[in-house]
Each structure stands twice: as C-alpha cells, then as structure tokens.
C-alpha cells in the first residue's frame, strides 16, 4: 500500500511539473522559492554567527583586564615636558629659572646651567623616572663650560 501511495505521489508531481502548459512556470517558481529559503538560511546563519562573536568578544573584554594606557600615548610632547618639569622641580634645591625642559617624540631635552655635576645627574635621573619618557638627553652644563649640542650628547634610554 505504501508503494502505491508513493508511486501515486511521484506520478502526480511529475504530471504537475511536466505539464506542457504551466509546468515551466511551476518549476521556475519552485526553483526561486528554494533559492530564497537557502539565501535566507545563509543570511540568518551569518547574522547569528556575528551576534555570537560579538557576545564572546564583549565577555572576553569584560573578563580580561585592560592594559594601562601608556602616558606616551596620552600625553603630547608639550604636556609631557610640563609633567617632567613638575616632577623634577618639586623641591627648591634645583634652579628652575636656569633649566629648560623640552620634549620631542617622547625624548626629553634638559638644557641650561647647573651648579654641579651631582645636580646634573639628579635632574636626568628624575626625568627618566617620569612615566611616558622614552629617553633623556642631558644638555646641561657647569658654570664656565660651553653648552653641549644635540650632536655631542647621545640620548640615554628611560
């Protein structure tokens, strides 16, 4: 009995789709609807995959501690120079009026006259300790000495 029903259904489908008058239209409608459902299924699968990826990325971002933003990324050169000035001139022991602090691409340039070599080294080491400083070029000089130039002094990494 099952074979008879299956054979009758197959015969009916063949007559329906191979009809000389409307068979071509029916086949084309079937093809169009099939491709439409396949496209919709693919689009839906892509949409769901994108949603799941976004959810996973959000959870990973919440769970993972974010790295602290470097000061060199936050501060431009003038702001970095002001930050270095505020750090190295905190006390009254250094001659603020005789030292110039400049920054170029994260490199700090110290220029001016200092009373002794100990102050010279202390200024440079304090500048190196400031977050965001890539290197320090100490162009300071002692009284009676000629001021060094950028070419004479190599930068020391921070």
Exposed e or buried b for every residue in 125-153, given b needs 16+ CB within 10 A? ebbbebebbbbbbbbbbeeeeeeeeeeee
On whether both 46 and 103 belong to a single domain, the answer is no
Choosing from 28, 63, 98, the residue where a domain stops is 63
On whether both 78 and 55 belong to a single domain, the answer is no
Predicted confidence at residue 156, as pLDDT, reads 54
Domain that holds residue 90: 71-157
The tens digit of pLDDT for each residue in 116-132 reads 888 889 888 999 998 88
Predicted confidence at residue 65, as pLDDT, reads 65
On whether both 82 and 28 belong to a single domain, the answer is no
On whether both 13 and 56 belong to a single domain, the answer is yes
On whether both 51 and 80 belong to a single domain, the answer is no
* Intervals of the chain under pLDDT 50: 70-72
On whether both 84 and 31 belong to a single domain, the answer is no
The tens digit of pLDDT for each residue in 131-140 reads 888 899 988 8
In 3D space, the residue among 132, 148, 156 whose CA is nearest the CA of residue 69 turns out to be 132
- Name the token pair of 121: 């080294």
CATH number of the domain at 94, please: 3.30.1340.30
CA–CA dist 81, 57 (Å, integer): 38
Total structural domains in the chain?
2
Q: Note every long-range contact of 46-54, with CB atoms under 8 Å and residues 24 or more positions apart, other chains counting.
A: none
On whether both 48 and 86 belong to a single domain, the answer is no
On whether both 52 and 130 belong to a single domain, the answer is no
pTM: 0.50
Choosing from 41, 63, 85, the residue where a domain stops is 63
3-state secondary structure of 113: strand
On whether both 55 and 98 belong to a single domain, the answer is no
Q: Residue with structure tokens 């905190």?
A: 90
Predicted confidence at residue 71, as pLDDT, reads 44
On whether both 127 and 49 belong to a single domain, the answer is no
Predicted confidence at residue 77, as pLDDT, reads 86
Backbone angles phi, psi at 129, to 5 degrees: -75, -15
């Amino acid at each position: 009995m099952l074979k008879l029903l299956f054979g009758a259904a197959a015969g009916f489908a063949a007559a329906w789709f191979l009809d000389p008058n409307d068979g071509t239209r029916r086949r084309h409608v079937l093809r169009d609807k099939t491709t439409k459902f396949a496209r919709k299924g693919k689009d839906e699968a892509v949409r769901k995959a994108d949603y799941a990826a976004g959810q996973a990325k959000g959870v990973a971002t919440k769970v993972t501690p974010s790295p602290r933003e470097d000061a060199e990324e936050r501060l431009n050169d003038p702001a970095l120079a002001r930050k270095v000035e505020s750090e190295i001139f905190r006390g009254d022991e250094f001659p603020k009026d005789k030292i110039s602090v400049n920054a170029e691409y994260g490199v700090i340039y110290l220029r001016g006259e200092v009373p002794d070599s100990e102050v010279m080294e202390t200024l440079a080491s304090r500048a190196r300790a400031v977050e965001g400083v890539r290197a320090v070029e100490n162009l300071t000089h002692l009284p009676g000495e000629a001021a060094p130039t950028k070419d004479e002094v190599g930068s020391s990494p921070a």
